[in-house]
């Protein structure tokens, strides 16, 4: 089976009602990012940071996968599929995708505030301030904050290097190092981008589908599955 690598960004989750990155005014769901999404914010006011991610987790659990998520899961019928997502929700998994790499963590898990390798499932939507890891440190959301390293980026780059088909969905390519992953995709690999506003691409070989994810992804998936059946 051919290997398809899909990089997804905020656009695919936005259609499920989730804001997964900041708006143009620099606020994230009404919060200043510096106050809720940095290690310094956790040091200053951990209760505020915890509350912010608890509410975002609640929103994620209430959201449902959309047509784009379900369409990408269908690709596993005929292809070896890896989804690399910048999003911290679990909508890909809930739609049925089985091989998902979360670059920025996943909000439905918690982690130790002193050892990010210690992660735990969350019972419900809330992490309480008195919950601690096995080292006795408070638990926080399992997400990568601004100013922290992205531990999965090297693995993601290796995956992109092996792509036989590459699809970019709903990303403005504004967040690094994730945006740099397209540079690891082999030159000869067929590449597609799906977005209602296609960002600037230095690689002119991308096939552009200027649609929102819920329209463009099912369209492309149907084409790829049909082509595979005909080949």
Is residue 207 a contact partner of residue 215, using CB atoms and an 8 Å limit? no
Q: How far apart are CA 59 and CA 18, in angstroms?
A: 7
- The string of pLDDT tens digits covering residues 65-112 is 999 999 999 999 999 999 999 999 999 999 999 999 999 999 999 999
Instruction: Please state, rounded to an integer, the average pLDDT across all residues of the chain.
Output: 92
Q: Exposure string (b/e) for 106-130, b if CB count within 10 Å is 16 or more?
A: bbbbbbbbeebebbeebeebebeee
Domains of the chain, CATH where assigned: 1-18+65-104+149-231 (3.40.50.1220), 19-62+108-143 (3.30.1600.10)
Q: What is the average per-residue pLDDT within 35-46? A: 95
Burial of 37 (0-12, 13-18, 19+ CB in 10 A): buried
Over residues 176-206, the pLDDT tens digits come to 888 899 999 999 999 999 999 988 888 889 9
Choose between 109 and 34: higher pLDDT: 109
How does residue 175 score in pLDDT terms, banded at 50, 70 and 90? Answer: confident
Q: Which residues are catalytic?
A: 104
pLDDT at 29: 64
- pLDDT of res. 22: 53
Statement: the pTM of the whole predicted model exceeds 0.85: yes
Quick one: DSSP state of residue 173? S
pLDDT for residue 24: 52
Mean pLDDT over 16-42 rounds to 76
Backbone angles phi, psi at 70, to 5 degrees: -65, -35
């Amino acid at each position: 089976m051919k290997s398809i690598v899909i990089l997804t960004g905020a656009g695919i989750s936005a259609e499920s009602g989730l804001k997964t990155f900041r708006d143009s005014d620099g606020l994230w769901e009404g919060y200043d990012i510096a106050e809720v999404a940095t290690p310094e914010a956790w040091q200053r006011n951990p209760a505020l940071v915890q509350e912010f991610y608890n509410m975002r987790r609640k929103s994620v659990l209430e959201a449902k996968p959309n047509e784009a998520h379900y369409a990408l899961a269908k690709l596993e019928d005929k292809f070896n599929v890896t989804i690399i997502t910048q999003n911290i929700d679990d909508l890909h998994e809930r739609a049925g995708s089985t091989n998902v790499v979360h670059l920025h963590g996943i909000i439905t898990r918690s982690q130790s505030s002193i050892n990010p390798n210690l992660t735990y499932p969350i019972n419900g939507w809330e992490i309480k301030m008195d919950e601690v890891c096995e080292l006795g440190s408070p638990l926080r959301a399992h997400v990568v904050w601004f100013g922290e390293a992205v531990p999965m980026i090297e693995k993601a780059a290796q995956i992109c290097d092996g792509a036989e088909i590459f699809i970019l969905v709903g990303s403005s390519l504004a967040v690094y190092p994730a945006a740099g992953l397209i540079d690891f995709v082999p030159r000869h690999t067929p590449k597609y981008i799906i977005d209602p506003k296609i960002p600037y691409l230095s690689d002119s070989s991308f096939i552009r589908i200027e649609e929102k994810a819920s329209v463009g992804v099912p369209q492309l998936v149907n084409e790829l599955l049909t082509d595979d059946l005909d080949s």
